[in-house]
Structure 1
Amino acid sequence: MSETITIKNFSSLLSLPPLKKLKEYKIARLTAPGENYGSLMLSVDVTLDTSGGNENIHLVAKMVPPNVAIQEIFNTSVTFRNEIEFYRKIVPTLENFQLQFGSEVVDFYPKYFGSRLNLTGSEHVDSDAILLLENLKIANYVGVDRSAGLDMPITRLILRNLAALHAVPIGLKLHKPEVFNTEVRPYLSPWLPKKEMHDKYRAAIVEMVAQIPEISHLEKRILEGFDRELLPEIPREPFATIAHNDCWVSNSLVKFDKQEAVDCKLVDYQVCGYGSPARDVLFFLFSSVKIEVLERWFEDLLKWYYENFISLLKGVKCDVQKFGFEEFEKELDFEARNSQFGHVAFMLFVVFTDKSKVKDISEFSVDNIIAGAGSEEHKRKFAFVVKEFAKRNWI
């Protein structure tokens, strides 16, 4: 299939200095079926002709999914533009803000190389829209097996990056609200699952609960909690910030040194919204981390995230009195009750679906995911999540 893939007017996407010229480029599929759902991902290996000889650049091209159903699920006409602006505007704005305080600039995203919405120059997102980013795999960042779950060291790395994603925009909002409102806020859109998709997963959950005796008595609470994912997102100050809204194991790439996780990057910012940091923390932990890690270290991981969050706020000279740990716990409680149980329950179908049964993105459907899920590991993780949320009175 890779030989049929083309990118129209590719040379116009790259902004090159006068002494560098595009010599050639090669395109291939980056991800296999079942690894990515919200967009078409390509690898682009570029060779530049320079005064000193050839120079190679390795890129990822993110494109609109060739599937109308997926475009509707992800509201691609809005979210694709928002992700472009995340890299084009939001990242430089946050970096410049940190530099003003002599603070270490956070670096948890791939480098941006160019983008477009279409070939006509309008504001409409169409099939020629594209986002060019650094190919992190060339720098030895790799994905982790999503069904295995994350261990403690990787979890801490990702929580540290989430703390940066949340804290730095809050600092900008507090110090320079006019900049935040013009360079950040316009590209944070609310996103809710489609009712039809929600109903399909709901029916699958009813079927799953019936197969797990230890949680069958909680069916009513489970379904009520799942249905609350359809409630509109409610930003609450002062914690409201950039919420990734899709931070799970497959949206992180990890770098290892002698089998030790030393760094990670977060990707896929297409559904970023303006909301509570607690949304991301809860969703990430319960969707992506090993049960054994959560059983032993859940409270410690919350405190680890919070300590990094506060440290970053202090790094940009913010008054942190309004951001006490008790207030953060209230955020966790609110989001766990009102948004994240349904979010996690839905994502577990994706985490545990049999990738060998998932069709190509052009043929993808929600039914594929549901049909490929339901393994014993899926049931075990779902039962764990249900019992944890019930124990804390979140459902």
Structure 2
Amino acid sequence: MDTTKSKITGLRMILCNYYSYKVNIVGEQLKTLDKPTCIALIARFRKDKQTYVEALACFVKLCEIDMKITINTDNLAGFKKEVDFYRFIIPFLTDYQRSLVMAYDDQYYLSFPECVGATISILSDREIPDETGALVLLDLKDMGYTSPNAHLDLKSCKLVLSQMAKMHAAPIAVKLVSLEKFKAQVVPHLINARYRKKPYGHLDARTLTADVLKMNDLSDLISYINSVIEYSKSATELDIIEDDTWFTLCHSNFNIRNLMIKYDPTGNPHSCKIIDLKYYSYSHCCDDLLFFLFTSVDIDVLIECYPSILDYYYTELILNLNKYPIGKKAVPYTKEHFLEEVDVQGQKVLTQIIQAQAYTTCEGYRENGEPILGPLFTKRLINTIFTVLNIT
């Protein structure tokens, strides 16, 4: 990937479509961020015949081209999925909500950065991403959002859960009320591109767990935990769906690294945005919920408030579902059923949670990129095992 990129291909057309005006680019200031495919952009331009110059701060994600191999289908699929999410799924669900005259604050697109433009290629007939593809979003940092630098307190946790519940409720409701529309407008973007790579998947959850259990005189649990991890891995790999009542569009890597939060002048969390959507999938809502809680919420908060946190998410989910005309179709969504699903899904996502915890709690990284684990990882892992598996 070219790290000396001087301009974004097709930016003028993207801005013309965004503003519905003829736009003339005056200048582009680009800064490469943590990887060559992520760029901070300040675009300067004039609209139509105006004499003054405007500026727009954007975050740009380019399609990652792997120079080591000829074709990396994971990179291509991940980029296409995220572009499709912004181009098709967000507008469809938002337009559906507007057709019901739902409140502005409930609209689906507000959960994510605003999209300026998204394309897999400047060539209109292309179906596969190329080097000219770009996802251009408004720069959240320019709007006062920041990435959390520590695990979340209870206020921040509840803010995120409210946003998660809105994100999960909309697809469930559309599926219940207008299944054929859901099949026509959403399902094609779930099957056109399969993103095979799993985040953190290279780490061995059994080894991570066994080491911690041995150091804490819990060796007698190793055999049982290993059997659950094997079940978790097989459940993920086989991806068998027997009942999709609680299935929705999930982020599938929902953790603090993929959130940006805005705080008010007193330091209280005010709003949040969900970012990095290349893993999104049609999955169980509890997968996102549990993955987020056990990787991203302060461990002491989780220990003290876990039942009430689950209750908060469920209440927010049902509150949002009831804003749609679902009527008697809401019957299966009871709290008792929800808590049963939490227990079942907890075992299924346990492996992914353990693998992710190694990164979200690490004290740094070795030269080979592997996480350096410490007491926080140990405490969080033990709490996760005992909570998810209901060990007393």
Partner of 1:111: 114
Distance in 1 between residues matched to 2:296 and 2:220, nearest whole Å = 26
Partner of 1:57: 56
Partner of 1:4: 4
Partner of 1:337: 347
Partner of 2:15: 14
Distance in 2 between residues matched to 1:356 and 1:24, nearest whole Å = 38
Q: Is the 8 A contact 1:209 1:219 kept in 2?
A: no
Deviations 1:349-392 (A, max 9, x none): 2213345657xxxxxxxx51x3x321222222222212222325
SS of the residue aligned with 1:391?
coil
| Greater Cα shift, 234-243 or 309-318 | 234-243
Larger relative contact order (Cα-Cα within 8 Å, sequence gap ≥ 6): 1
Distance in 2 between residues matched to 1:99 and 1:284, nearest whole Å = 29
Distance in 2 between residues matched to 1:158 and 1:71, nearest whole Å = 40
Q: Is the 8 A contact 1:234 1:275 kept in 2?
A: no
Q: Is the 8 A contact 2:66 2:72 kept in 1?
A: no
Are residues 176 and 126 of structure 1, via their aligned partners in 2, closer, same or farther at CA, if it must alter by over 3 Å? Answer: same
Distance in 2 between residues matched to 1:300 and 1:321, nearest whole Å = 22
Partner of 1:309: 317
Query: After superposition, where does 1:11-90 map in structure 2 within 5 Å?
Result: 11-16=12-17, 17-31=20-34, 40-50=37-47, 51=50, 53-67=52-66, 75-90=74-89
| Greater Cα shift, 373-382 or 320-329 | 373-382
Are residues 260 and 11 of structure 1, via their aligned partners in 2, closer, same or farther at CA, if it must alter by over 3 Å? Answer: same
Correspondence 1:264 to 2:294? no
Deviations 1:90-119 (A, max 9, x none): 111111111222222331111111122234
SS of the residue aligned with 1:262?
strand
Correspondence 1:241 to 2:243? no
Deviations 1:139-179 (A, max 9, x none): 1010011xx31100110011111111111111111121121
Q: Is the 8 A contact 2:77 2:195 kept in 1?
A: no
Deviations 1:303-332 (A, max 9, x none): 111111111111012132121111111221
Partner of 1:133: 137
One-letter identity of the residue aligned with 1:180: F
Distance in 1 between residues matched to 2:227 and 2:118, nearest whole Å = 42
SS of the residue aligned with 1:53?
coil
Correspondence 1:324 to 2:327? no
> 278, 284, 289: which one pairs with 2:292?
284
Q: Is the 8 A contact 1:2 1:27 kept in 2?
A: no
Partner of 1:168: 170
Partner of 2:161: 159
Distance in 1 between residues matched to 2:252 and 2:72, nearest whole Å = 14
One-letter identity of the residue aligned with 2:357: L
Correspondence 1:378 to 2:377? yes
Distance in 2 between residues matched to 1:74 and 1:377, nearest whole Å = 36
Distance in 2 between residues matched to 1:91 and 1:70, nearest whole Å = 33
One-letter identity of the residue aligned with 2:102: S
Q: Is the 8 A contact 1:73 1:194 kept in 2?
A: no
Partner of 2:92: 93
Distance in 2 between residues matched to 1:76 and 1:302, nearest whole Å = 34
Partner of 1:298: 306
Cα drift, residue 78 of structure 1:
2.0
Correspondence 1:217 to 2:220? yes
Q: Is the 8 A contact 2:12 2:23 kept in 1?
A: no
Q: Is the 8 A contact 1:65 1:71 kept in 2?
A: no
Q: Is the 8 A contact 2:116 2:136 kept in 1?
A: yes
TM-score (norm 2): 0.86
Q: Is the 8 A contact 1:44 1:59 kept in 2?
A: yes
Distance in 2 between residues matched to 1:156 and 1:170, nearest whole Å = 21
The CA RMSD measured in Å over matched residues stands at 2.9
Q: What runs of 5+ residues in structure 2 fail to find an aligned partner?
A: none
| Greater Cα shift, 123-132 or 239-248 | 123-132
Distance in 1 between residues matched to 2:140 and 2:134, nearest whole Å = 17
Distance in 2 between residues matched to 1:128 and 1:212, nearest whole Å = 51
- Percent identity over the alignment is 21
Distance in 1 between residues matched to 2:68 and 2:282, nearest whole Å = 25
Cα drift, residue 210 of structure 1:
5.8
Deviations 1:187-228 (A, max 9, x none): 235666569x74643465156336532433222233333332
TM-score (norm 1): 0.85
Distance in 1 between residues matched to 2:354 and 2:290, nearest whole Å = 12
Partner of 1:142: 146
